[in-house]
Amino acid sequence: MTMDDTLGYEPGRLPVARQAFERRHPEFDTGAVAALRAAEYGRLDALDQVYLDYTGGGLHAESQIEAHAALLRSQVLGNPHSNNPTSLAMTELVEGARRRVGEFLGADPDEYLVVFTPNASGALRLVGESYRFAPGGRFALTFDNHNSVNGIREFARRKGASVTYVPVVAPELRLDRAAMTAELGAADPSAYNLLAFPAQSNYSGVQHPLDLVDEAHDHGWDVLVDAAAFAPTNRFDASVINPDFASFSFYKMFGFPTGIGCLLIRRARRSALERPWFAGGTITIASVQGDGHYLHDDEAGFEDGTVDYLNIPAVATGIDHIERVGIDTIHDRVLALTDWLLEALVGLRHSTGRPVVTVLGPTDVADRGGTITFVMHDADGRPIDDRRVEELANRVNISLRTGCFCNPGAGEVAHGLHADDMRPFFGRSTPVSFLDLRERMLADHDTLVAGIRISVGVASNFTDVFRLLCFLQGFVDRTVDDIGRVEFVSDNCRIVRDSA
């Protein structure tokens, strides 16, 4: 991208900008995948929508819904916990989907259990409540974990294990590897020690080095990899990564179904998990008068009650769709769009030279994914309220996300906050809301402790990201007072859509 290319994000420049982008990124497939967008995601263009929230949730393809509806129309399917014809038919579909998931994730059935859960958070809770934390053991996790991983610390503390957060370092929010190595080396290898980290941060897009798994194993740790933000646009191969546990949400990968995730459990470390209760479907037998129970030693021992059996076959359909597109093709397209976005965002300036956008995380595509979080400042250097940005984006059909993204640690580091800044908000008799927190931080530090997050995915094209820049250019040389006026919204980013 030349300096001239960064000037004037307006509708008339789209063809020239797209040509320059395609010259720079010849790997960006504008043929087959463009046709896929028209055929499978045509509602985006028909409804004039720019969808930039793939880290929040993926989009389903039309063929996924058609295939699943055809399955439900053509078969009689019952609760799988029986041996009648409808139950047996359903069991076959559920177990077929389980095998399909294992194949897609490189999880050999001889090595891994594939446990269906409500989502990645449900998978993480299973590990947290069942892991054999004890005094002398440790729970280590990176600062930039999602709250569903952060919550595991409560299980660890109640069982007497120590809890350590390993920092990420501003401005790129990458892992402090030396601190991680020191923490791993400090553990008693004879105790139960668990390390948890995201393969990709849902805040910064940073992809942490997956060789952490082997390093941790060498020091006697079990490893939980949260792959929820990573798997939608990157190949996850359990046979290479070798995690003890890994969590996924399928709606983030292919949009539908929305109520199913999975937990991979390495069979060799199944004994590190001890379930605190049992439920229907999880036991071989239980007795009221005999006062005992036996848990299944396979996936059933972790799948409480009846699984979402009518939707589970849609997981296999979604995987089929992703494989037809190609996960490597998706990865390459996402990386190309992210590269263009980062350079465009960093280059957006007020006439004074002040940046309009500050990216919270890496500003290049080395070891990062297609998630970008940023903050904005007006021509006077004052922070622009992320909620106002979202409100204005809504009016021109751009879906982005604002707030803290359930990732307080990454946000605290990104905004330069420390323990002394945060501790006063806790231990109170009444809970503090995020709104209370952001107002206090703005008053005390002139800092908005929130961000604006955009993310690209399987159906994203160049017009989507160019249209975002058309919208953001409208903030150039404006003040907070200007931006607050209703007439600030213009039609600048309503441009003719294409299928590239």
Taking only the tens place, the pLDDT of each residue in 354-402 is: 999 999 999 999 999 999 999 999 999 999 999 999 999 999 999 999 9
**Pairing status of strand 245-249 against strand 261-266:** antiparallel
* pLDDT at 231 exceeding the cut of 50: yes
Per-residue model confidence (pLDDT) at position 448:
85
CB atoms inside a 10 Å sphere around CB 477 = 15
Per-residue model confidence (pLDDT) at position 346:
97
Of 413, 348, 409, nearest to 379 by C-alpha is 348
Contact 313, 94 (CB under 8 A): yes
The letter for the amino acid at 400 is: L
Q: At 124, is the pLDDT very low, low, confident or very high (cuts 50, 70, 90)?
A: very high
Quick: pLDDT tens for 196-207: 999 999 999 999
How far, in Å, CA of 454 to CA of 52, rounded?
5
Per-residue model confidence (pLDDT) at position 139:
98
Q: Where are the beta strands (DSSP E) in 143-221?
A: 162-166, 168-169, 174-175, 193-198
Quick: pLDDT tens for 406-423: 999 999 999 999 999 999
Contact 369, 54 (CB under 8 A): no
Reading the block at residue 152, the tokens are: 């595991």
Which ranges constitute the DSSP H helices of 237-385? 238-241, 250-254, 312-325, 327-347
Q: At 44, is the pLDDT very low, low, confident or very high (cuts 50, 70, 90)?
A: very high
Which has the higher per-residue pLDDT, 16 or 3? 16
Q: Select which of 404, 406, 470, 493 is catalytic.
A: 406
* pLDDT at 307 exceeding the cut of 80: yes
* Known active-site residue 404: no
Percent of the chain with pLDDT strictly greater than 70: 95
Mean pLDDT in residue range 3-9: 56
Quick: pLDDT tens for 434-474: 889 988 888 888 788 899 999 999 999 999 999 999 999 99
Per-residue model confidence (pLDDT) at position 485:
57
The DSSP code sequence of 92-106 is HHHHHHHHHHHHHTT
Per-residue model confidence (pLDDT) at position 7:
53
* pLDDT at 481 exceeding the cut of 60: yes
Mean pLDDT in residue range 191-218: 98
In degrees, rounded to 5, the angle at the alpha carbon of residue 149 between the alpha carbons of residues 146 and 151 is: 110
Quick: pLDDT tens for 247-271: 999 999 999 999 999 999 999 999 9
User: Which phi-psi region, left, alpha or beta, contains residue 65 (left: φ > 0; alpha: ψ -120 to 50)?
Assistant: alpha
Q: Tell me what the pLDDT averaged over the chain comes to.
A: 93
- pTM for the whole structure: 0.93
Mean pLDDT in residue range 302-317: 97
Q: Where are the beta strands (DSSP E) in 199-333?
A: 222-226, 245-249, 261-266, 283-287, 292-295
Percent of the chain with pLDDT strictly greater than 90: 88
Q: At 499, is the pLDDT very low, low, confident or very high (cuts 50, 70, 90)?
A: very low
Mean pLDDT in residue range 325-349: 96
Q: At 29, is the pLDDT very low, low, confident or very high (cuts 50, 70, 90)?
A: confident
Q: At 5, is the pLDDT very low, low, confident or very high (cuts 50, 70, 90)?
A: very low
Per-residue model confidence (pLDDT) at position 498:
42
Ramachandran angles phi, psi of 446, nearest 5°: 55, 40
